């Protein structure tokens, strides 16, 4: 069976790993209990996987093939997937009645061009029946985030949010930035909109409450206070500069402040400062004064702090120019913990209510919602969404659109931020579009490029050599497409830039041919079937229209030879950028096949654009090289021994102190170490004593 057929027929391949579907013979139904769908009550699903008999749908697509499924579907809630002939999932949807919803598609009457195009491309469908519509909504959000269908509303940025963690597994709790699963014992406060906001807040909280931020191992091995104690950022519990009881009081005050009882904390500190002043203990009074100032600094950097809203997430949506911005503000314990703008992929024809409803379901798929969600406008199926989120969180979640008062002020403020963020994005996109059009005109392309790849190498005397690739498109740099190449070849002379570039090109385009050989570089929106490709709302192509090489004629000769050997020289345009005399910026010389080398006017916007691309690949290449060099510097000889993992390595170093001491140890000494058998001891000994 071909991979495409496997993708069409294998329901389990398209479902998240926590939903297992067993496909039986035609007509069979299998009840499956998933282990861990989004947190909430356990959900049972009935998987219906049915492929028409040979000849039933042979050569049929669109409404005709959908019609063959209708008579087999139950009048029950569930989730459906529409797929094209290649097995790619086009759309994931949920329905209160699968039979009625799919019947609407089969009738061939569509309200929008988007739905019509989606139905025309459909070659097969798959279904999952659920017990309730709420379960269908949760599963739909789960599948959309995993499969990323082209015709759904998609979140572009789904990074987890950072939290502040006050640990509870140590006699002297520490304060840390935390992201990911809450597996460590302690109190979590957040979410914060960015890691920078967490860092600034922790820095101020350290000044206010003198909490430690060191690791437990660092804490245990201190014999005198560290620098943070000297600069009054830590109370020094590691060396007994403060008693455990006194430090516990500081931790309690920090919890009160982060839990919204900031005024109580400030009142207590103010009273303590006044008492110290009356006792003429001005040094202690100055400490309390500095702590009050630090607390004020924290609150000043939280922006607006509502008086009547204890815990809420505020969402505002704004659409303009065919794009959508959703602004999210986080309020916890009466304090504003920041905001973030999202730009979901959505068809311009979709109404804001539909986009907002789909966004919220995906946003909370792996996050716990606040007890109250405040929206700038009503979301589609808002009541159902509230029930689903309550099921997911295991507590009551209220969703409302405030009409007056402070809550209305919060949504208006979020909406203003959404308008401004989208305005900035549209301006940047417009500028980028003009630059790409100018780039195409300057270098003789038939149309503006959609994907530009830029390459560079970085090394020191040939050591720790790294090749780097950055990618730019209609919306600027596409950082999730960046790649680095650790130079592996032992035949390359150290410092041979031509050889390094040949290896990078060979590896990059060999893999591209293997994985995306059928894709046409620079396909137009009409050819891809996605009108929003150039606008940045569609799929990003794998093949580049242009590759920029940081180098002159020699580099270009090496690159073109590799492209010719692979048979892709005519599919990709290669441009070389040589540094000008004395490496002056603005005097770069360009090398393009079929043309003499040339320079651009010093103030040409296209020249500035190319310089930005080159500077970005420089930054990425140098950063990758430094990271590799740093890793090599701290590399231990024990890492090279097969069978020596982190545990045994730690045991050996604790027993002997250094890797050099391990290399000198006899087998009899090695076997005395916990976890080191005679066989492993011989491996270690033989590694250092080849003779």
- 31 or 628: which leads in pLDDT: 628
Looking at every residue in the chain, the average pLDDT score rounds to: 79
Start-end ranges of CATH 3.40.1440.10 in the chain? 3-147
- 265 or 440: which leads in pLDDT: 440
Lowest model confidence (mean pLDDT) among 140-149, 221-230, 286-295, 623-632: 286-295
Bridge-based pairing state of the strands 163-167 and 175-178: antiparallel
CATH assignment, 445-524+532-627: 3.30.420.340
The arithmetic mean of pLDDT across residues 168-190, rounded, is 85
Residue 325 has pLDDT above 80, yes or no: yes
Spatial separation of the C-alpha atoms in residues 56 and 124, rounded to whole Å: 12
User: Under CATH, to which class is 312-424 assigned?
Assistant: alpha beta
Let me know the angle formed at the C-alpha of 51 by 49 and 54, rounded to the nearest 5 degrees.
Answer: 160
Spatial separation of the C-alpha atoms in residues 480 and 63, rounded to whole Å: 36
pLDDT, tens digit, 9 for 90 and up, residues 456-481: 888 776 577 888 999 998 888 888 89
Spatial separation of the C-alpha atoms in residues 187 and 259, rounded to whole Å: 10
pTM of the entire predicted model = 0.64
Let me know the angle formed at the C-alpha of 327 by 323 and 330, rounded to the nearest 5 degrees.
Answer: 165
pLDDT, tens digit, 9 for 90 and up, residues 369-428: 888 999 999 999 899 999 999 988 888 999 999 998 888 989 998 999 898 888 888 888
Burial of 244 (0-12, 13-18, 19+ CB in 10 A): exposed
Spatial separation of the C-alpha atoms in residues 272 and 183, rounded to whole Å: 37
Neighbours of 134 (CB within 10 A): 22
Residue 684 has pLDDT above 90, yes or no: no
Q: Under 8 Å CB-to-CB from 74, ≥6 apart: which residues?
A: 48, 98, 99, 129
The arithmetic mean of pLDDT across residues 337-350, rounded, is 85
Contact (Cβ atoms closer than 8 angstroms) between residue 98 and residue 73: yes
Residue 125 bridge partners (DSSP): 82
Residue 342 bridge partners (DSSP): 326
Residue 456 has φ and ψ, to the nearest 5°, of -160, 160
Start-end ranges of CATH 3.30.420.340 in the chain? 312-424, 445-524+532-627
Residue 349 has pLDDT above 90, yes or no: no
- Output the DSSP codes for 536-584: TSSPPPSS-SEEEEES-HHHHHHHHHHHHHHT-TTTSEEEEEE--GGG-
Spatial separation of the C-alpha atoms in residues 285 and 283, rounded to whole Å: 5
Start-end ranges of CATH 1.10.150.20 in the chain? 637-688
CATH assignment, 3-147: 3.40.1440.10
Residue 647: helix, strand or coil by DSSP? helix
> Was domain 637-688 assigned CATH 3.90.1150.10?
no
Residue 31 bridge partners (DSSP): 46
């Amino acid at each position: 069976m071909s991979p495409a057929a496997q993708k069409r027929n294998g329901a389990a391949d398209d479902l998240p790993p926590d939903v297992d579907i067993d496909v039986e013979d035609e007509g069979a139904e299998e009840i499956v209990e998933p282990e861990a769908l989004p947190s909430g009550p356990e959900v049972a699903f009935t998987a219906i996987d049915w492929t028409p008999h040979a000849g039933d749908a042979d050569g049929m697509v669109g409404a005709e093939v959908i019609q063959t499924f209708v008579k087999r579907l139950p009048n029950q809630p569930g989730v459906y997937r529409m797929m094209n002939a290649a097995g790619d999932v086009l759309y994931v949807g949920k329905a209160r009645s699968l039979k009625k919803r799919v019947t609407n598609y089969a009738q061939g009457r569509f309200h929008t061009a988007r739905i019509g195009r989606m139905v025309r491309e459909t070659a097969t469908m798959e279904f999952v029946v659920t017990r309730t519509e709420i379960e269908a909504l949760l599963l739909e959000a789960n599948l959309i985030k995993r499969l990323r269908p082209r015709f759904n509303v998609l979140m572009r940025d789904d990074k987890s949010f950072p939290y502040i963690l006050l640990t509870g597994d140590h006699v002297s709790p520490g304060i840390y930035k935390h992201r990911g699963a809450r597996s460590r014992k302690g109190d979590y406060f957040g979410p914060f909109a960015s890691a920078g906001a967490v860092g600034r807040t922790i820095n101020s909280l350290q000044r206010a409450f003198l909490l430690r931020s060191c690791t437990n191992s660092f804490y245990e091995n201190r014999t005198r206070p560290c620098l943070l104690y000297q600069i009054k950022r830590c109370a020094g519990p590691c060396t007994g500069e403060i008693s455990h009881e006194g430090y516990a009081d500081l931790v309690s005050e920090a919890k009160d402040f982060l839990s919204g009882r900031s005024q109580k904390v400030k009142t207590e500190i103010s009273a303590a400062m006044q008492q110290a002043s009356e006792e003429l203990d001005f040094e202690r009074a100055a400490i309390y004064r500095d702590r009050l100032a630090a607390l004020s600094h924290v609150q000043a950097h939280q922006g607006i702090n509502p008086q009547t809203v204890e815990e809420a997430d505020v969402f505002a949506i704004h659409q303009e120019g065919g794009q959508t911005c959703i602004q999210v503000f986080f309020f916890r314990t009466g304090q504003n913990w920041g905001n973030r703008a999202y730009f979901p992929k959505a068809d311009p024809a979709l109404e804001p209510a539909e986009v907002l409803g789909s966004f919220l379901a995906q946003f909370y798929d792996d996050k716990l919602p606040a007890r109250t969600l405040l929206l700038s406008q009503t979301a589609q199926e808002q009541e159902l969404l509230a029930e689903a989120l309550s099921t997911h969180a295991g507590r009551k979640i209220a969703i409302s659109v405030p009409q007056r008062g402070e809550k209305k002020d919060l949504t208006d403020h979020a909406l203003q931020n959404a308008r401004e963020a989208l305005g900035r994005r549209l301006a940047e996109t417009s500028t980028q579009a003009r630059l790409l059009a100018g780039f195409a005109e300057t270098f003789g392309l038939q149309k503006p490029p959609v994907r530009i790849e830029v390459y560079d190498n970085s090394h020191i005397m040939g050591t720790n050599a790294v090749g780097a690739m950055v990618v730019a498109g209609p919306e600027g740099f596409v950082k999730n497409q960046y790649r680095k190449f650790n130079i592996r070849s032992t035949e390359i002379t150290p410092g041979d830039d031509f050889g390094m570039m040949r290896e990078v090109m060979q590896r990059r385009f060999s893999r591209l041919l293997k994985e995306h050989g059928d894709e046409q570089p620079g396909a137009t929106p009409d050819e891809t079937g996605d009108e929003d490709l150039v606008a940045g709302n569609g799929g990003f192509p794998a093949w580049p229209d242009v590759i920029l090489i940081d180098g002159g004629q020699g580099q270009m000769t090496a690159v073109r030879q590799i492209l010719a050997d692979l048979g892709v020289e005519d599919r990709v345009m290669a441009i070389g950028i040589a540094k000008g005399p004395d490496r002056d910026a603005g005097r770069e010389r360009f090398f393009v096949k079929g043309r003499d080398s040339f320079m651009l006017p010093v103030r040409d916007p296209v020249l500035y654009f190319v310089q930005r691309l080159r500077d970005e690949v420089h930054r990425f290449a140098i950063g990758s090289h430094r990271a590799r060099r740093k890793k090599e510097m701290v590399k231990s000889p024990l890492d090279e021994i097969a069978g020596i993992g982190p545990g045994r390595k730690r045991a050996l170093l604790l027993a002997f102190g250094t890797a050099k001491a391990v290399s000198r140890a006899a087998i009899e000494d090695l076997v005395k170490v916990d976890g080191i058998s005679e066989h492993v001891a011989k491996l270690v000994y033989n590694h250092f004593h080849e003779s």
